[in-house]
Protein backbone atom coordinates (compact mmCIF):
# COMPACT_ATOMS: atom_id res chain seq x y z
CA UNK A 1 0.00 0.00 0.00
CA UNK A 2 1.37 3.38 -0.98
CA UNK A 3 1.54 5.80 1.84
CA UNK A 4 2.50 9.39 1.84
CA UNK A 5 3.78 10.95 5.04
CA UNK A 6 3.17 14.65 5.45
CA UNK A 7 3.76 16.47 8.70
CA UNK A 8 1.66 14.52 11.17
CA UNK A 9 -0.74 13.14 8.57
CA UNK A 10 -0.43 9.90 6.74
CA UNK A 11 -2.51 9.74 3.60
CA UNK A 12 -3.54 6.37 2.28
CA UNK A 13 -3.32 6.85 -1.49
CA UNK A 14 -5.07 3.60 -2.36
CA UNK A 15 -8.21 4.76 -0.57
CA UNK A 16 -8.36 7.81 -2.86
CA UNK A 17 -9.90 7.55 -6.31
CA UNK A 18 -7.35 9.13 -8.61
CA UNK A 19 -8.23 9.99 -12.21
CA UNK A 20 -5.58 10.83 -14.79
CA UNK A 21 -7.12 12.94 -17.55
CA UNK A 22 -5.36 13.18 -20.91
CA UNK A 23 -6.85 15.53 -23.52
CA UNK A 24 -5.75 14.37 -26.96
CA UNK A 25 -6.04 15.49 -30.51
CA UNK A 26 -3.99 13.41 -32.95
CA UNK A 27 -1.34 12.17 -30.52
CA UNK A 28 -0.90 8.60 -31.85
CA UNK A 29 2.89 8.76 -31.56
CA UNK A 30 2.98 9.45 -27.85
CA UNK A 31 -0.34 8.69 -26.16
CA UNK A 32 0.38 5.02 -25.42
CA UNK A 33 3.64 5.93 -23.66
CA UNK A 34 1.87 8.54 -21.58
CA UNK A 35 -0.81 6.03 -20.53
CA UNK A 36 1.78 3.35 -19.67
CA UNK A 37 4.01 5.75 -17.73
CA UNK A 38 1.13 6.97 -15.59
CA UNK A 39 -0.17 3.42 -15.11
CA UNK A 40 3.29 2.47 -13.80
CA UNK A 41 3.42 5.44 -11.42
CA UNK A 42 -0.20 5.20 -10.22
CA UNK A 43 -1.34 1.56 -10.55
CA UNK A 44 -4.65 2.28 -8.77
CA UNK A 45 -5.58 5.30 -10.84
CA UNK A 46 -8.12 5.27 -13.63
CA UNK A 47 -6.68 6.74 -16.81
CA UNK A 48 -8.97 8.58 -19.22
CA UNK A 49 -8.03 9.71 -22.69
CA UNK A 50 -10.40 12.33 -24.02
CA UNK A 51 -10.31 11.99 -27.75
CA UNK A 52 -11.38 15.05 -29.66
CA UNK A 53 -12.19 13.92 -33.20
CA UNK A 54 -8.67 12.59 -33.80
CA UNK A 55 -8.19 11.37 -37.35
CA UNK A 56 -5.24 9.12 -36.50
CA UNK A 57 -4.80 6.05 -34.28
CA UNK A 58 -4.92 7.99 -30.96
CA UNK A 59 -8.04 6.28 -29.55
CA UNK A 60 -7.03 2.73 -30.58
CA UNK A 61 -3.50 3.03 -29.19
CA UNK A 62 -4.68 4.60 -25.94
CA UNK A 63 -7.27 1.83 -25.49
CA UNK A 64 -4.66 -0.83 -26.18
CA UNK A 65 -2.43 0.76 -23.53
CA UNK A 66 -5.23 0.39 -20.97
CA UNK A 67 -6.92 3.79 -20.93
CA UNK A 68 -10.66 4.46 -20.83
CA UNK A 69 -11.58 6.42 -23.95
CA UNK A 70 -14.17 9.16 -23.80
CA UNK A 71 -15.05 11.33 -26.78
CA UNK A 72 -15.85 15.00 -27.06
CA UNK A 73 -17.22 16.28 -30.33
CA UNK A 74 -16.77 20.03 -29.76
CA UNK A 75 -13.28 20.71 -31.06
CA UNK A 76 -10.87 22.42 -28.68
CA UNK A 77 -8.88 21.69 -25.56
CA UNK A 78 -11.13 23.93 -23.46
CA UNK A 79 -14.26 21.98 -24.37
CA UNK A 80 -12.43 18.77 -23.53
CA UNK A 81 -11.40 20.03 -20.09
CA UNK A 82 -15.00 21.10 -19.42
CA UNK A 83 -16.19 17.60 -20.38
CA UNK A 84 -13.48 15.93 -18.27
CA UNK A 85 -14.47 17.92 -15.20
CA UNK A 86 -18.16 17.19 -15.60
CA UNK A 87 -18.02 13.54 -16.61
CA UNK A 88 -15.29 12.06 -14.44
CA UNK A 89 -15.94 11.18 -10.83
CA UNK A 90 -12.87 10.95 -8.54
CA UNK A 91 -11.30 12.34 -5.38
CA UNK A 92 -8.09 13.62 -6.96
CA UNK A 93 -7.62 14.58 -10.61
CA UNK A 94 -4.41 14.77 -12.63
CA UNK A 95 -4.42 16.48 -16.01
CA UNK A 96 -1.56 15.94 -18.42
CA UNK A 97 -0.89 16.53 -22.12
CA UNK A 98 -0.86 13.55 -24.46
CA UNK A 99 2.37 14.59 -26.19
CA UNK A 100 4.63 12.99 -23.57
CA UNK A 101 6.18 16.34 -22.70
CA UNK A 102 5.75 16.01 -18.94
CA UNK A 103 7.48 13.46 -16.69
CA UNK A 104 5.03 10.95 -15.17
CA UNK A 105 7.49 10.45 -12.28
CA UNK A 106 6.63 13.95 -11.00
CA UNK A 107 3.00 12.97 -10.44
CA UNK A 108 3.57 12.00 -6.79
CA UNK A 109 4.88 15.45 -6.00
CA UNK A 110 2.00 16.93 -7.96
CA UNK A 111 -0.80 15.13 -6.11
CA UNK A 112 0.79 15.26 -2.64
CA UNK A 113 -0.47 18.76 -1.68
CA UNK A 114 -3.99 17.84 -2.86
CA UNK A 115 -3.95 14.56 -0.91
CA UNK A 116 -2.79 16.39 2.20
CA UNK A 117 -5.63 18.87 1.76
CA UNK A 118 -3.16 21.74 1.39
CA UNK A 119 -3.96 22.74 -2.19
CA UNK A 120 -6.90 22.83 -4.58
CA UNK A 121 -4.76 23.08 -7.69
CA UNK A 122 -1.12 22.07 -8.09
CA UNK A 123 0.63 23.28 -11.23
CA UNK A 124 3.68 21.62 -12.74
CA UNK A 125 5.64 24.79 -13.42
CA UNK A 126 7.92 24.58 -16.45
CA UNK A 127 9.43 28.00 -15.84
CA UNK A 128 10.21 27.60 -12.16
CA UNK A 129 13.86 28.37 -11.35
CA UNK A 130 15.65 25.05 -11.21
CA UNK A 131 13.80 23.42 -14.09
CA UNK A 132 15.43 22.64 -17.42
CA UNK A 133 12.47 22.92 -19.77
CA UNK A 134 13.04 22.55 -23.48
CA UNK A 135 11.03 25.48 -24.78
CA UNK A 136 11.18 26.93 -28.24
CA UNK A 137 12.54 30.49 -27.68
CA UNK A 138 9.38 32.11 -29.06
CA UNK A 139 7.22 29.99 -26.70
CA UNK A 140 9.37 30.89 -23.71
CA UNK A 141 9.02 34.58 -24.57
CA UNK A 142 5.24 34.30 -25.04
CA UNK A 143 4.92 32.42 -21.74
CA UNK A 144 6.87 35.15 -19.93
CA UNK A 145 4.73 37.87 -21.51
CA UNK A 146 1.46 36.19 -20.47
CA UNK A 147 2.89 35.57 -17.00
CA UNK A 148 3.91 39.21 -16.51
CA UNK A 149 0.51 40.50 -17.65
CA UNK A 150 -1.42 38.08 -15.45
CA UNK A 151 0.79 38.51 -12.37
CA UNK A 152 0.57 42.29 -12.48
CA UNK A 153 -3.18 42.39 -13.16
CA UNK A 154 -4.11 39.91 -10.44
CA UNK A 155 -1.26 40.79 -8.05
CA UNK A 156 0.09 37.26 -7.74
CA UNK A 157 3.55 35.78 -8.20
CA UNK A 158 3.02 32.63 -10.21
CA UNK A 159 5.80 31.18 -12.34
CA UNK A 160 3.75 29.34 -14.99
CA UNK A 161 0.14 29.92 -15.96
CA UNK A 162 0.00 27.93 -19.21
CA UNK A 163 1.19 24.55 -17.98
CA UNK A 164 -0.97 21.57 -18.96
CA UNK A 165 0.32 19.37 -16.10
CA UNK A 166 -1.84 19.91 -13.05
CA UNK A 167 -3.52 18.16 -10.13
CA UNK A 168 -6.88 19.20 -8.69
CA UNK A 169 -9.03 18.45 -5.70
CA UNK A 170 -12.57 17.21 -6.27
CA UNK A 171 -13.96 20.41 -4.73
CA UNK A 172 -12.10 22.46 -7.32
CA UNK A 173 -13.11 20.34 -10.32
CA UNK A 174 -16.76 20.17 -9.37
CA UNK A 175 -17.28 23.85 -8.54
CA UNK A 176 -15.22 25.83 -11.03
CA UNK A 177 -17.33 27.14 -13.92
CA UNK A 178 -15.35 26.97 -17.18
CA UNK A 179 -16.53 28.46 -20.45
CA UNK A 180 -13.52 28.79 -22.78
CA UNK A 181 -13.30 26.27 -25.60
CA UNK A 182 -9.74 26.67 -26.81
CA UNK A 183 -6.17 26.91 -25.64
CA UNK A 184 -6.97 29.68 -23.13
CA UNK A 185 -8.29 27.01 -20.76
CA UNK A 186 -5.15 26.95 -18.59
CA UNK A 187 -5.32 30.73 -18.22
CA UNK A 188 -8.99 30.49 -17.27
CA UNK A 189 -8.25 27.76 -14.71
CA UNK A 190 -5.51 29.82 -13.08
CA UNK A 191 -7.33 33.16 -13.02
CA UNK A 192 -10.57 31.68 -11.71
CA UNK A 193 -8.63 29.76 -9.07
CA UNK A 194 -6.95 32.99 -7.94
CA UNK A 195 -10.14 35.07 -8.10
CA UNK A 196 -12.19 32.51 -6.19
CA UNK A 197 -9.62 32.08 -3.44
CA UNK A 198 -8.59 28.50 -4.23
CA UNK A 199 -5.18 27.45 -2.93
CA UNK A 200 -2.57 27.09 -5.68
CA UNK A 201 0.78 25.35 -5.27
CA UNK A 202 3.49 25.18 -7.93
CA UNK A 203 5.89 22.26 -8.31
CA UNK A 204 8.92 22.56 -10.62
CA UNK A 205 8.57 20.23 -13.63
CA UNK A 206 10.85 20.06 -16.63
CA UNK A 207 9.24 20.04 -20.05
CA UNK A 208 10.67 17.92 -22.84
CA UNK A 209 10.27 18.68 -26.54
CA UNK A 210 7.76 16.83 -28.73
CA UNK A 211 9.35 13.86 -30.50
CA UNK A 212 10.15 14.02 -34.21
CA UNK A 213 7.01 13.66 -36.32
CA UNK A 214 4.62 14.83 -33.59
CA UNK A 215 2.94 18.18 -34.25
CA UNK A 216 2.01 21.06 -31.98
CA UNK A 217 -1.68 22.00 -31.93
CA UNK A 218 -0.96 25.58 -30.88
CA UNK A 219 -1.39 28.29 -33.49
CA UNK A 220 0.90 30.97 -32.18
CA UNK A 221 -0.87 34.25 -33.06
CA UNK A 222 -4.45 33.00 -32.89
CA UNK A 223 -3.97 31.25 -29.55
CA UNK A 224 -1.72 33.99 -28.16
CA UNK A 225 -4.38 36.57 -28.92
CA UNK A 226 -7.07 34.34 -27.40
CA UNK A 227 -5.05 33.96 -24.19
CA UNK A 228 -4.45 37.72 -23.81
CA UNK A 229 -8.10 38.39 -24.59
CA UNK A 230 -9.14 35.88 -21.91
CA UNK A 231 -6.90 37.57 -19.31
CA UNK A 232 -8.40 40.97 -20.13
CA UNK A 233 -12.00 39.69 -20.10
CA UNK A 234 -11.55 37.93 -16.76
CA UNK A 235 -9.81 41.01 -15.33
CA UNK A 236 -12.88 43.05 -16.34
CA UNK A 237 -15.24 40.48 -14.80
CA UNK A 238 -13.40 39.85 -11.54
CA UNK A 239 -11.87 43.31 -10.91
CA UNK A 240 -14.33 45.69 -12.57
CA UNK A 241 -13.52 48.69 -10.40
CA UNK A 242 -9.83 48.57 -11.34
CA UNK A 243 -10.61 47.85 -15.01
CA UNK A 244 -13.19 50.60 -15.47
CA UNK A 245 -11.33 52.90 -13.02
CA UNK A 246 -8.24 52.78 -15.25
CA UNK A 247 -10.38 53.36 -18.36
CA UNK A 248 -12.13 56.27 -16.60
CA UNK A 249 -8.85 57.82 -15.49
CA UNK A 250 -7.45 57.62 -19.01
CA UNK A 251 -10.53 59.33 -20.44
CA UNK A 252 -10.44 62.09 -17.81
CA UNK A 253 -6.72 62.68 -18.45
CA UNK A 254 -7.42 62.76 -22.21
CA UNK A 255 -10.19 65.31 -21.66
CA UNK A 256 -7.59 67.62 -20.10
CA UNK A 257 -5.84 68.08 -23.45
CA UNK A 258 -8.70 69.97 -25.19
CA UNK A 259 -9.77 71.34 -21.79
CA UNK A 260 -6.40 72.99 -21.09
CA UNK A 261 -6.20 74.26 -24.69
CA UNK A 262 -9.57 75.94 -24.18
CA UNK A 263 -8.51 77.49 -20.87
CA UNK A 264 -5.34 78.91 -22.42
CA UNK A 265 -7.38 80.34 -25.26
CA UNK A 266 -9.80 81.92 -22.81
CA UNK A 267 -6.87 83.41 -20.86
CA UNK A 268 -5.43 84.88 -24.06
CA UNK A 269 -8.55 86.12 -25.82
CA UNK A 270 -11.16 86.31 -23.11
CA UNK A 271 -13.57 84.09 -25.10
CA UNK A 272 -14.10 80.48 -26.34
CA UNK A 273 -13.88 80.41 -30.13
CA UNK A 274 -13.56 76.64 -30.71
CA UNK A 275 -16.82 74.92 -29.74
CA UNK A 276 -15.68 71.56 -31.15
CA UNK A 277 -12.86 71.42 -28.59
CA UNK A 278 -15.34 72.15 -25.83
CA UNK A 279 -17.62 69.34 -26.98
CA UNK A 280 -14.68 66.90 -27.14
CA UNK A 281 -13.42 67.91 -23.68
CA UNK A 282 -16.84 67.57 -22.05
CA UNK A 283 -17.53 64.34 -23.96
CA UNK A 284 -14.29 62.71 -22.82
CA UNK A 285 -14.75 63.89 -19.24
CA UNK A 286 -18.31 62.58 -19.02
CA UNK A 287 -17.29 59.25 -20.61
CA UNK A 288 -14.60 58.94 -17.94
CA UNK A 289 -17.11 59.60 -15.18
CA UNK A 290 -19.48 57.08 -16.75
CA UNK A 291 -16.70 54.47 -16.74
CA UNK A 292 -16.11 55.09 -13.01
CA UNK A 293 -19.84 54.72 -12.33
CA UNK A 294 -20.03 51.47 -14.33
CA UNK A 295 -16.98 50.19 -12.42
CA UNK A 296 -18.62 50.95 -9.07
CA UNK A 297 -21.89 49.24 -9.99
CA UNK A 298 -20.14 46.14 -11.33
CA UNK A 299 -17.87 46.05 -8.29
CA UNK A 300 -20.91 45.77 -6.00
CA UNK A 301 -22.47 43.11 -8.21
CA UNK A 302 -19.20 41.13 -8.28
CA UNK A 303 -18.99 41.33 -4.46
CA UNK A 304 -22.54 40.08 -4.09
CA UNK A 305 -21.95 37.19 -6.46
CA UNK A 306 -18.81 36.29 -4.47
CA UNK A 307 -21.04 36.08 -1.41
CA UNK A 308 -23.46 33.82 -3.28
CA UNK A 309 -20.58 31.62 -4.38
CA UNK A 310 -19.37 31.34 -0.83
CA UNK A 311 -22.83 30.46 0.44
CA UNK A 312 -23.25 27.79 -2.23
CA UNK A 313 -19.89 26.30 -1.29
CA UNK A 314 -20.84 26.22 2.40
CA UNK A 315 -24.14 24.59 1.45
CA UNK A 316 -22.25 21.99 -0.59
CA UNK A 317 -19.90 21.25 2.35
CA UNK A 318 -22.89 20.97 4.65
CA UNK A 319 -24.69 18.53 2.33
CA UNK A 320 -21.56 16.41 1.89
CA UNK A 321 -21.04 16.29 5.66
CA UNK A 322 -24.65 15.20 6.18
CA UNK A 323 -24.39 12.45 3.58
CA UNK A 324 -21.15 11.06 5.03
CA UNK A 325 -22.18 11.44 8.71
CA UNK A 326 -23.68 8.28 10.27
CA UNK A 327 -27.34 8.84 11.21
CA UNK A 328 -28.13 9.49 14.91
CA UNK A 329 -29.76 6.62 16.72
CA UNK A 330 -33.45 7.35 17.16
CA UNK A 331 -34.60 7.25 20.78
N1 LIG B 1 -8.88 16.93 -26.94
C2 LIG B 1 -8.18 17.90 -27.50
N3 LIG B 1 -6.94 17.99 -27.11
C4 LIG B 1 -6.22 18.95 -27.68
C5 LIG B 1 -6.71 19.85 -28.65
N6 LIG B 1 -5.70 20.67 -28.99
C7 LIG B 1 -4.66 20.25 -28.27
N8 LIG B 1 -4.99 19.23 -27.48
C9 LIG B 1 -4.15 18.47 -26.56
O10 LIG B 1 -3.68 19.35 -25.59
C11 LIG B 1 -2.37 18.98 -25.23
C12 LIG B 1 -1.47 20.18 -25.40
O13 LIG B 1 -1.38 20.54 -26.76
P14 LIG B 1 0.01 20.93 -27.40
O15 LIG B 1 -0.16 21.04 -28.88
O16 LIG B 1 1.04 20.00 -26.89
O17 LIG B 1 0.24 22.38 -26.83
P18 LIG B 1 1.44 22.87 -25.95
O19 LIG B 1 1.92 21.81 -25.04
O20 LIG B 1 0.99 24.16 -25.34
O21 LIG B 1 2.53 23.24 -27.05
P22 LIG B 1 3.64 22.29 -27.75
O23 LIG B 1 3.97 21.17 -26.83
O24 LIG B 1 4.76 23.21 -28.05
O25 LIG B 1 3.01 21.76 -28.99
C26 LIG B 1 -1.99 17.80 -26.12
O27 LIG B 1 -2.23 16.60 -25.42
C28 LIG B 1 -2.95 17.93 -27.28
O29 LIG B 1 -3.25 16.70 -27.88
C30 LIG B 1 -8.04 19.72 -29.05
O31 LIG B 1 -8.56 20.43 -29.88
N32 LIG B 1 -8.73 18.74 -28.42
MG1 LIG C 1 2.76 20.08 -25.58
In 126-264, the DSSP E strands lie at 166-169, 200-204
DSSP β-bridge partners for residue 50? 23, 70
Transcribe 23-38 into DSSP letters. Answer: EESS-TTTHHHHHHHH
State the distance from the centre of ligand 1 to the C-alpha of 264, rounded, in angstroms: 59
Question: What does the alpha-carbon distance between residue 129 and residue 136 come to, in Å, rounded to a whole number?
Answer: 17
164 close to ligand 1 (CB < 6 Angstrom):
yes
Ligand 1 atom with least separation from CA of 52: 1
Between strands 92-95 and 166-169, the pairing is: antiparallel
- Which atom of ligand 1 sits closest to the CA of residue 51? 1
Q: What is the pLDDT along the chain (331 residues), one digit of tens a residue?
A: 333 434 445 566 778 999 999 999 999 999 999 999 999 999 999 999 999 999 999 999 999 999 999 999 999 999 999 999 999 999 999 999 999 999 999 999 999 999 999 999 999 999 888 788 888 888 899 999 999 999 999 999 999 999 999 999 999 999 999 999 899 999 999 999 999 999 999 999 999 988 888 888 889 999 999 999 999 999 999 999 999 999 999 999 999 999 999 999 999 988 888 899 999 999 999 999 999 999 999 999 999 998 998 898 889 889 988 888 776 654 4
52 CB less than 6 Å from ligand 1? yes
Ligand nearest to the CA of 218: 1
Nearest bound ligand to the CA of residue 81: 1
Amino acid sequence: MLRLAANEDVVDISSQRIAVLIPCYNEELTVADVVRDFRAELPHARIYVFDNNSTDETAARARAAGATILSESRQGKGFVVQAMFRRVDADVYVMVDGDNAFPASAVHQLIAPVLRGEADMVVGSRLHPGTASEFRPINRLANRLVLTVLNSMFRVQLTDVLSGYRAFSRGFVKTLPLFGGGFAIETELTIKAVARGFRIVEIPTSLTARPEGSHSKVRFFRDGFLILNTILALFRDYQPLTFFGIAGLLLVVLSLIPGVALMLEYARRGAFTRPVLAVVAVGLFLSGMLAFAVGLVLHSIARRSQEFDYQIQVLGDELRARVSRPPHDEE
